[in-house]
Amino acid sequence: MTGQPLDPAALFKQQAAIQAATLVKDGMAVGLGTGSTATFVVAELGRRIREEGLRICAIPTSDATEAQAREEGIPLTSFGEHPDLDIAIDGADEIEPGTLNLVKGRGGALLREKIVAAAAKQLVIVADASKYVEHLGMLCPVPVEVVPFGWESAATRLARLGAHVAPRKHRDGSFYLTDEKNLIMDCVFGPIEDPDTLSQSIYGIVGVIEHGLFLHMATQTITAGPEGIKILEPTHKRTTQSAP
């Protein structure tokens, strides 16, 4: 990380990230998230490796995170070597207290993020306190990753579920492509009263690869804000989310 002063939101993200990184112990296989908060996690783990002799291996959730991990000197592994991970630490765009249901994927890595999250014994989410919402969908769209072929058909069917659908594009008008070379449909549903039913309905659309509703997956959230560090655990036992 640079030595430039951080703005308050970034400082809160860094505080949460450093707290979460303390959960990583010697010998762990770690999933590394993607996004502005996860960047601080990777930086802190790199520092611990260099200064404390921490011994871990990691699987990154994006090409960008992989590049940062290599720069930080974090040994990388694969699912062939470690099909199960001890812990994954990632950010979130929205967090629903109590359930710890999440919206993730604004950074475009939702497919790899969900693969890593599902493989981890613990999924720890780090964020600034502004990410808490009463219902998912209140702050941001739900990203849905679709194959490029027939994306218009998938978008039409997403709209029939009640969403305003927009394919994600770059400023020059070209389509945004994920690391897996798929497209992302940003779906504005508004407040989502029944995320489990919506999740299954989205999975039922042919051409959908994955979506950004991470339900019943997080084992802990660590957030930071003006009132300090806040740690929450879900009120119900974690389950593995999967398509029907």
List active site positions: 113
DSSP secondary structure letters along 109-135? -HHHHHHHHHHBS-EEEEEEGGGB-SS
Nearest to 140 by CA among 105, 89, 188, 185: 188
Alpha helices per DSSP H over 140-238: 151-160, 195-203
Helix or strand or coil: residue 236? coil
CB 103 within 8 A of CB 218: no
The Cα–Cα gap between 127 and 182 comes to: 26
How far is Cα 227 from Cα 213, in angstroms, rounded to an integer?
28
Asked whether 175 and 183 are in contact (CB, 8 A), the reply is yes
For the chain, the first-to-last Cα distance in angstroms comes to 41
∠ CA(220), CA(109), CA(29), 5° rounding? Answer: 50
Which residues, 6+ apart, have CB-to-CB distance to 159 below 8 Å? 165
Phi, psi of 226 (to 5 degrees): -55, -25
